[in-house]
Structure 1
Amino acid sequence: MHQPTPAELKRRDERTRWGYTNDPWPKYDQFPSGRLTIVIHANPYSGLRRTYSDGKTQALEGMLPDILAGFAGHAASISERRRESEERERRRRDAEARRRREEAYDGREKRRMKFVDAVHEQLIDRDKLKAVLTHLEKMTPEDAGKMSAMATWIRLRLKQINALISPDFLDISATSSKADFTEPDPEKGAESGYCYSPPIKLELWSVDAKKGEATCSPLEWVNAKDPPIE
């Protein structure tokens, strides 16, 4: 058992003032025993033998087969622990990749439903406008004249809606809104969400087929004498 020196006791008191409770000296003093010892500094919690020393009845030289077998056992234990660690890491990576794929899929599904909701909203508005227009058209010529401006606006609005939900414009709006209805190829690697997710919107587009460009121009579309899509 180690007996602390005055300097060690003073150091302990200084450490105590700083909140340290452990003693700053070894529990035992070690002295040369005169016996040869081999210590394997590995796998302290494996349960495998790690220390081989001269004894009263057997010298260390006679224990060489056991020592070599001990090294082999420890090497096998280290290799197995490394394999288990690599397997845990692989499972962790697989789980993280699966989580990312599921998260990306959920994100795509939400955007798809928002796009479908936007189309459905236009269909509801179209039915509503048609019903009102039918009501106006049943009026007497005198009353219909009073509501001609409203009827004209409704007809234009119906043309806008028909344009918004036309296949060509829906295709462009889906691309612009990043509402992709095709599942990505899983062979191309890990999926990731869009860095930027624009709002889901149906737009009136001005298409330049020669340049392969489409620009959003609702006011230009409304003011056109002959809207491109009815």
Structure 2
Amino acid sequence: MTTNAAELGTAAPTLAALARRLGLPTPRAGHWMKMEVGKAPPTPDYPADPALDDTSYRPWRAPTIPEHDYVPNGELVLKFDHDYDAGGTRRTFSDGKRQRLEDLVPSMIESLERWGMAVKARRAERAEQARKWAEQDRRRKDIERQVRVEGYRITFLQRQVERKREVDGLSGLIGLWEQAEDPDPKFAELLEFARLYQKWLEAKLAPGAVAERIADLKLMDDDVYIYDAKRLD
């Protein structure tokens, strides 16, 4: 089957399915090995079909036979496009035993008017819903922004409080160390560094320095965004 399918330009399963549909025998497992040793069973008869002699015959490519025949009956049908926004409005008008399509024109116009009003109302409802969702999203983002901005400011204040505590702690420590008599040179060097560090911290806590830092960070802006929290130090 594989060799024959390759010659016909198709797949072996497709060829086997076609053979079964036409009632043609197909070789079973081990058929060709049995032929090599002379033990193959005789080839069974198959239905004679002249169409099989035509090399261009491709049953699987033939158009499918319709399930029902289409026969025009002369009755006219008018069907509007499907639209679920219409709210159950009639969409199909056709000839019947007691009515003709042309007699239904007033009913069709009335149906179109109701249909148009239903579609318009549905669109307005969707627009209002979209507006409410947009407003809710805006409020959510505004709350998130407020929380973020207040978080920046609180972190900045906490850092200033920590520096004030450092200054106060250094003041007490320096006062204690200054009472030492005949201090070691290395100790005196560390004491001097502590004094310099205290002055640096006091300069950072000065109102002018804090105001300059606030302006640099834009900390009091409503839409401030600080990508690195270390900048709040």
TM range, smaller chain: 0.5 to 0.7
Who is 1:173 aligned against? 213
Unaligned runs of 5+ in 1: 1-8, 13-23, 185-190, 203-230
Between the aligned residues of both structures, percent identity stands at 24
Tell me, what secondary structure is at the counterpart of 2:230? Answer: coil
Residues 105, 29 of structure 1: alpha-carbon distance in 2 compared, 3 angstrom cutoff: farther
After superposition, give the CA deviation of every residue in 1:144-175 in whole Å (9 maximum; x if it has no partner): 88743333222222211111011111112223
Residues 128, 195 of structure 1: alpha-carbon distance in 2 compared, 3 angstrom cutoff: closer
Unaligned runs of 5+ in 2: 1-58
Residues 200, 43 of structure 1: alpha-carbon distance in 2 compared, 3 angstrom cutoff: same
Alignment of 1:1-230 (within 5 A): 10=60, 30-44=70-84, 46-140=87-181, 142-143=182-183, 147-178=187-218, 180-181=219-220, 184=222, 194=225, 196-197=227-228, 199-202=230-233
Cα RMSD after superposing both structures? 3.1
**C-alpha contact 1:136 1:151 (8 A) present in aligned 2:** yes
For residues 117 and 74 of structure 2, the distance between their equivalents in structure 1, rounded to whole angstroms, comes to 32
Tell me, what secondary structure is at the counterpart of 1:52? Answer: strand
Equivalent residues, number: 173
**C-alpha contact 1:37 1:52 (8 A) present in aligned 2:** yes
For residues 67 and 153 of structure 2, the distance between their equivalents in structure 1, rounded to whole angstroms, comes to 69
For residues 90 and 26 of structure 1, the distance between their equivalents in structure 2, rounded to whole angstroms, comes to 50
Residues 27, 51 of structure 1: alpha-carbon distance in 2 compared, 3 angstrom cutoff: farther
For residues 201 and 195 of structure 1, the distance between their equivalents in structure 2, rounded to whole angstroms, comes to 8
Point out the structure with max Rg over C-alpha. 2
**C-alpha contact 1:36 1:53 (8 A) present in aligned 2:** yes
**C-alpha contact 2:77 2:101 (8 A) present in aligned 1:** yes
Shift of 1:138: 2.8
Normalized per residue, the structure richer in helix is 2
TM-score, with normalisation over the residues of structure 1?
Answer: 0.63
TM-score, with normalisation over the residues of structure 2?
Answer: 0.62
